[in-house]
Amino acid sequence: MTSSSRNYQLRRIPGGRFAVLTTVIICFLTSSTFMTARGSKPKRPQASEFGLGPRHSMDRRYVATLQPQQPLRRRHLQTIQVSITDAEGLAVDGATIAVDGGMPQHGHGLPTKPRVTKNLGGGLYEIEGVRFSMGGWWEFKLFITGTPGVDSVTFNLNL
């Protein structure tokens, strides 16, 4: 019993020190990152905010999912299909979708002017002319006007 308790302590102490050290380092890193972000550029969202969706629009009128023809790549002109449903999950057809975006930390928009070129039916739309010229955090925004109303959805993409 004594021996087991001692062993427990022996294992425990270095771990505790490590945890304290880690906490200190994380606090330092977090504070310096925060200072940089506050001082100069918009803060990158958490990892959970990134991805192709499904993603709710700002006022939750729509749910949009990006379906690239190939995995998203840097530099290449590419086509992305987007599936749009209403809040109940029903496909939204006949919507008008405007595309925008950019790199918030670099202060520039998309390098091209992508637009919806095909309404494929079943709530599926094809967006052509998308290019991500750099690596890093990109915002890809869709402004949707359809029967459920006017709303916008922003995807955070890591290229």
Here the tokens at position 112 are 């091209």
Query: Taking CA 128 as the corner, what is the angle to CA 124 and CA 129, rounded to the nearest 5 degrees?
Result: 155
- List C-alpha distances in Å: 91 to 26, 121, 123, 124, 146: 44, 9, 4, 8, 11
Per rule CB under 8 A, is residue 14 in the interface with other proteins?
no
Per rule CB under 8 A, is residue 35 in the interface with other proteins?
no
Chain centre distance of CA 137: 8
User: Which x/- pattern, by CB under 8 A, does the window 51-80 give for other proteins?
Assistant: -----------------------xx-x---
**127: nearest Cα among 112, 149, 109, 148:** 112
Among 134, 147, 149, 150, interactor with other proteins by CB under 8 A: 134
Residue 63 or 82 with smaller CB distance to other proteins: 82
Least separation in angstroms between CB 131 and other proteins = 8
Cα 99 to Cα 144: distance, rounded to the nearest angstrom: 9
User: Which x/- pattern, by CB under 8 A, does the window 89-128 give for other proteins?
Assistant: -----------------xxxxxxxxxx------------x
Helix (H, G, I), strand (E, B) or coil at 27: helix
Number of residues that bind other proteins (CB under 8 A): 22
Interacting residue ranges for other proteins, rule: CB under 8 A: 40-41, 74-75, 77, 106-115, 128-129, 131, 133-136
